[in-house]
Every structure is written in structure tokens, then in C-alpha cells.
Structure 1
Amino acid sequence: MLTSGDRLVAPLGLTSARWHVLGTIGASERPQPVAWLARDMGANRQNVQRIVNDLEKEGLVAFAANPHHRRAQLVVLTERGRNTYDAAMHLQAPWASGLADGLEVSEIETTHHVMKALLCKLEGSEDVGEQA
């Protein structure tokens, strides 16, 4: 999946990891520091910091002052970052639809249930019924 995602967004100058970070920033209700973004992504803070720094150098994100913590700046999408993310999602929609071609809805639902069950087990939760 990551390799396919990398190929899909490479023309935009993105990787799957950069795309994921942009999406997490864009989906946040308000600007967040890197540590919070990493937590939301289930990722290592240092890795997310490195990606955010690269995105900032390319003008896709910017840092803003954090009124609650002087050193933990907030990360915000720039207009260029929003446009790049939107372009990635525009590429993703037909790609994702193509993956589902020939599959029955029941097969997709079963796969979803199995993936949720596995995720619950990996996260240590045994109550799969409520999660699925």
C-alpha cells in the first residue's frame, strides 16, 4: 500500500508519509504541535518532526506560535499545502475505486470487520464487537 501510495503522489512531490502528515494536519480541528500530530498518527514524534521540517522548507506547512507552549510550535497547512493535499486526494479517489472493482459489498464489509478485529487485538483490546 505504501509503495502504491508513493507512486500515486510522486508527481506532486509527496510520499505516502508526507501525504499522511498533510492529511493529519488538514483533518485537525485546530493547529497542533508535532507531538500531538504524531500521537494522532500513531507515529514516532521524531519521524513526524523530520517530515514536518521538510514540508516547511517546501512551503507546504508553516509554524505558528503556540500560546500554551513557547517551544512547541503549532503546525498549519499553507495554501500551497492545502492545494497539494487536495490534488493528492483527487488522484486517490479513482485509484481507491479501482481497487474495489469486481468486489462485492459483502466482501468489503467482511474485510473491514477482519481488519478492525486485528487492529483491536494489536492494540490489546479484546472487545472487537464494539470496535467493528
Structure 2
Amino acid sequence: MEGDAFSAFAITALRLAGHLTAAGDRLAKPAGQTSARWQVLAAARRGDLSVAQIARALGLARQGVQRLADVLADEGLIAYADNPQHQRAKLVRLTAEGAARLGVIEVAQAGWANKLGAAFTSAELDAARTVMARVMEVMEVDEIPGN
């Protein structure tokens, strides 16, 4: 039955998300960061996104991203800038120190991804990514369980 297959897929995806978060935390730790903080730093690199836009892009609650951004700003890793499109929604920008920390993480992540990626073909990873993207698209249209 499709529901059973989807449930098994969802459980596997949740377990994978846990593994990826744990790996991200290990990769980010030498730079004094966590996976969540890393995600906000990476989004801040664009320089043209507000906290709300970052939250939407990451699929996270705006309040949680705001808390992380405020901590990162207090530590001098990001800075808030005026937003010409919205007076109250400041833009989040990466500082030089934030870029340095992000660079440390990204070097470690690249080595990790290359090592792990070698266990799969590009076609396998592309197919998995395609299925996951389709699941997210369907879920965005049908967000209420049972609909």
C-alpha cells in the first residue's frame, strides 16, 4: 500500500535528517558553531535576505531563526543592514569574522561530502534528491495530514 511505503520513506528521511544534523554539528564544532548556526551563516552570505526570508528558505520558524541571528549578531558573525524593501525587516549580512568561520566549516564539509559521496553514483544521488524534492512539493500543497 502507498501509505505504508510513504511511512517507511518518511521514517528513513527523519533518521537521515538526524544523522545529517549530528554530522553538521561535528563539522561546525571546530568553528564554534552548530548545524543551525551554520545554516544561518550560509544564508547570510547572500546579504539580501531578511530573517523571515531565511526562515522560509530553510523551512524553519521565523522566531527560531531570529534567536539564532541575534546571537550571531552579538558575536559579530553577522550584522543587520537597512532593507530598502521593508523598513522594519532588516537584511542579514555576513561579517568578515562570520565569513572566516563559515570558510572553516565549508572546507571540512567538502572533504566529508567527497568521502561520503564516493559511496554512491551521481545518478543514485540525483534520483534520491528528485524524489525528496517531489515529496516536499506535494507536502507544501497539502500541508494538513489526511487532505
Deviates more, 1:47-56 or 1:103-112: 103-112
Q: Which residue of 2 aligns with 1:50?
A: 67
Runs of at least 5 residues in structure 1 that lack an aligned partner in the other structure: 126-132
Distance 1:120 1:7, change over 3 A: same
TM-score (norm: length of structure 2): 0.74
Render the CA deviation track for 1:26-69: whole Å, top value 9, x for unaligned: 1x2x4332122222222211101000001011110112233444
Runs of at least 4 residues of structure 1 off by over 6 A? none
Q: Which residue of 2 aligns with 1:13?
A: 32
Deviates more, 1:65-74 or 1:75-84: 65-74
CA distance in 2, matches of 1:35, 1:118: 23
- Which one of the candidate residues 45, 55, 80 is aligned to 1:38? 55
Aligned residues: 123
Look up the SS of the partner of 1:75 in the other structure: strand
- Which one of the candidate residues 88, 93, 110 is aligned to 2:110? 93
**Residues 1-132 of structure 1 aligned to structure 2 (within 5 Å):** 1-26=20-45, 28=46, 30-124=47-141
Shift of 1:3: 0.9
Q: CA RMSD in A?
A: 1.8
CA distance in 1, matches of 2:137, 2:88: 35
Aligned residues with identical type, % of pairs: 39
